[in-house]
Amino acid sequence: MPLQFAPDNTDAIPLHVIEADMLKGWLGSQSAPVAAWVGAAGFTGALGSTLLVPDRDGGIAMALAGYGDGAARARGRFHLAGVAQALPEGTYRLEGPAPDRLDEEALGWLLSAYAFDRYKDQKPASARLVAPEGVEAARLEIIAAGEALTRDLINTPAADMGPDQLEAACRDLAGQHGAEINVITGAALLEQNFPMIHAVGRAAAQAPRLIDMAWGADGPALTLVGKGVCFDTGGLNLKPGSSMGLMKKDMGGAATVLGLAHMIMGLGLKLRLRVLIPAVENAVGGNAFRPGDILTARNGKTVEINNTDAEGRLVLADALSLGAEAAPDLMISMATLTGAARVAVGPDLAPYYTDDDAMAAALDGAAAKVADPVWRMPFHTPYEAMIEPGIADLDNAPKGGFAGSITAALFLRRFADKVPYTHFDIYGWNPTAAPARPKGGVGMGARAILEALPEVLRR
């Protein structure tokens, strides 16, 4: 089912969203039969509860959705998406006072219809909603489509989402929005000075590549860099099986960047967008890069390889160096980079790093507004010594295990030069199904960035 609002029509079923402490007053405004039915059913207005009220002919006269209280709602998000999943197929229209956070609830309803059904039929919510008065329906539909793109890309296994297929997805997106795209593949990476992207991906069956997409002719320059490791075996530092099972999602940074790019282009934001995606598979082979190797990055810095499983920062480094050469007004990288970030904040928060307090304030405010939670982490400069091995400029995997997400972010900052830079160390996966967020691939931070961009880029 498309992630779109239903056309307005007279047959739409009225849906009343009722807070628990407002139920008594609402019942007093209804007919005696309706009040009796609701009372007999035991409906209390508890968050997420639903009730269908029949008409005289056995059809549905109206539907009720419990909205609980503020304390209950604060423990989650997209509450009406859970209602959409509980209601029978049909078209519904909100009646009466609008619920809290109407944009969030309307978007959640759209996302409740998402299902990854490429390999098996799924059963997402089939209840459709007429666009509530007061929301920008077209904007929310574009945002929902961007999120669906991110989820589809992450959910697709590596056999069907290698560097070739990720490039194809980028070309499809570029064609949809009239963007320009250039791809540097295989040995050409060495010829054009992307040595670390080549080193990480050279042992795989599908050639490594750098995907470079550009859109927009006017406004501030924004460069998005997404980690596109389509599968990560760990390389010669081979991951154990238990750690390899979800590695199809190691291109979640690229997927999230592409979903965000769709939102930006679909909404026609006045900016110059560039998307850089190093697309590789970190594989094991006779020509795989090795622990102890020293690689020279695009910007001339040397990197000692102490763990081939810390490959994401290597491919991002070359892409960030390229992005910095054009001196954009803002550069943002997104990557499923470290397990340390998951230990620190869990799977639901998108940790980010920036030296710009105004950027952080804009992101935090935007995240709260659009229900896309983020958490600022420190670029803690005293830890710089941890990524300096002595034998080379940088160490890709400092020993000791302390501050793994911070040291990875510090490593990347070395390649952003003096460009205003923000880095997201995301998870890209929802381990437990929740309203509007089924188990599987999920975008993190993209909607917060989208909401913050106008404030950030007009400075």
Could you confirm whether 313 is annotated as catalytic? Answer: yes
Own/partner long-range contacts of 19-24 (Cβ < 8 Å, ≥24 apart) = 19/45, 19/67, 19/68, 19/69, 20/44, 20/45, 20/46, 20/47, 20/66, 20/67, 20/68, 20/69, 21/45, 21/69
Residue 357 CB coordination number (10 Å): 9
Both tokens of 392, joined, read 């080379």
**Candidate list 249, 313, 414, 447, residue with the active-site label:** 313
Q: How far apart are CA 326 and CA 35, in angstroms?
A: 66
Tell me which of 171, 239, 301, 342 is the catalytic residue: 239
Rounded to the nearest 5°, which phi and psi values hold at 209?
-160, 160
Q: Is residue 239 flagged as an active site residue?
A: yes
Residues linked to residue 308 through DSSP beta bridges, in sequence order: none
* Three-state SS at 38: helix
C-alpha–C-alpha distance, residues 342 and 365, integer Å: 22
- Residue 182 sits at the vertex; the CA angle it makes with 177 and 187, to the nearest 5 degrees, is 155
Q: Are 235 and 283 in contact (CB under 8 A)?
A: yes
Q: How many CB atoms lie within 10 A of CB 269?
A: 18
Residues sharing a CB contact under 8 Å with residue 197, sequence separation 6 or more, in sequence order: 189, 208, 209, 210, 278, 280, 314, 315, 318, 319
Quote the distance between the C-alpha of residue 217 and its chain's center: 26
Report which of 183, 162, 157 is spatially closest to residue 171, judged by C-alpha positions. Answer: 183
- The H-or-E segment that residue 265 falls in is helix 252-267
Question: Catalytic residue positions?
Answer: 239, 313
